[in-house]
Structure 1
Amino acid sequence: GQKLLQVLEDEARLQEFYKIVLFTFPINNLGQGLYRKLNYREVGLFKNQGRLKGKFVDVMLMEKLLFNQEYYL
């Protein structure tokens, strides 16, 4: 997973993307550990965003800024 995310981030930088956003389930502790290790941060939580196996589930929003602000000045 880490190698795949790194390739994605490298390509996003080449295309001059400012940030990457991702959505994950709050119960996905392993995934969140990886994202945090790679400097993603939680920015929000959608309550009862959808249904999974007949139950409502929350969805967490995370982001990573790819460039600092000075890059765009």
Structure 2
Amino acid sequence: MLLTRKANERDWDAIKSIYEEGIQTGNATFETNAPSKEQWFSSHNTECSLVCLDDEDIVGWASLSSVSSRCVYAGVGEDSIYVTASARGKGIGHLLLGKLVEKSEENGFWTIQTGIFPENMMSISLHAKHGFREIGLRKKVGKMNGVWRDVLFMERRSEIVGID
């Protein structure tokens, strides 16, 4: 049975391991190494950082990080979502992103944005199913292993937060 809950520091080994799997795919992030536990928890919103458990095992995580320290962007977060390789295709990403959207709105976020490599069709499809729309393609925004990579930018605007 799948269950989501707020992430905590005791979850770090699983979060890091799943993140490292994503790094290894070459289609999840420009990062080449996972951050330290302290860096990860300080850069992610603690109320909007979730893990998904299959029985007792953490099989995925999702979180929001601030896009800017400027107060005008206080309600704009960037999402990250990772599922362990052995559990992909089982609806875990769908569950996590749905819960992340709920948590984001409970915590005053009016926009979630994300950058996805265009080759990562599963992530693009997942985000589209949760109301994200494509807002642009950043061509050759960064190099990975000597190859320029594009990033598709998507966003989801809340229909209940920040609509005044």
Q: TM-score, normalised by structure 1?
A: 0.86
In the alignment, structure 2 segments of 5+ residues that lack a partner are 1-92
Cα root mean square deviation, aligned: 1.6
Which residue identity does 2:98 align to in structure 1?
Q
**Does residue 56 of structure 1 match 2:148?**
yes
Indicate conservation of the 8 Å contact 1:19/1:67, yes or no: no
Q: Using CA pairs under 8 Å that are at least 6 residues apart, name the structure with larger relative contact order, 1 or 2.
A: 1
Equivalent pairs, count? 72
Which residue identity does 1:33 align to in structure 2?
S
Which residue identity does 1:22 align to in structure 2?
T
| Alignment-derived partner of residue 22 in structure 1 | 114
| Alignment-derived partner of residue 72 in structure 1 | 163
Indicate conservation of the 8 Å contact 1:25/1:60, yes or no: yes
Structure richer in strand, relative to its length: 1
1:38, distance to aligned residue in structure 2 (A): 1.3
Matched residue of 2:113: which SS? strand
| Alignment-derived partner of residue 44 in structure 2 | none
Structure 2 distance, partners of 1:11, 1:30, is: 22
Which residue identity does 1:43 align to in structure 2?
I
Matched residue of 1:72: which SS? coil
| Alignment-derived partner of residue 134 in structure 2 | 42
Percent identity over paired residues: 31
Structure 1 distance, partners of 2:128, 2:163, is: 25
Report which of the two structures shows the higher radius of gyration computed on alpha carbons.
2
| Alignment-derived partner of residue 11 in structure 1 | 103
Q: TM-score, normalised by structure 2?
A: 0.41
| Alignment-derived partner of residue 5 in structure 2 | none
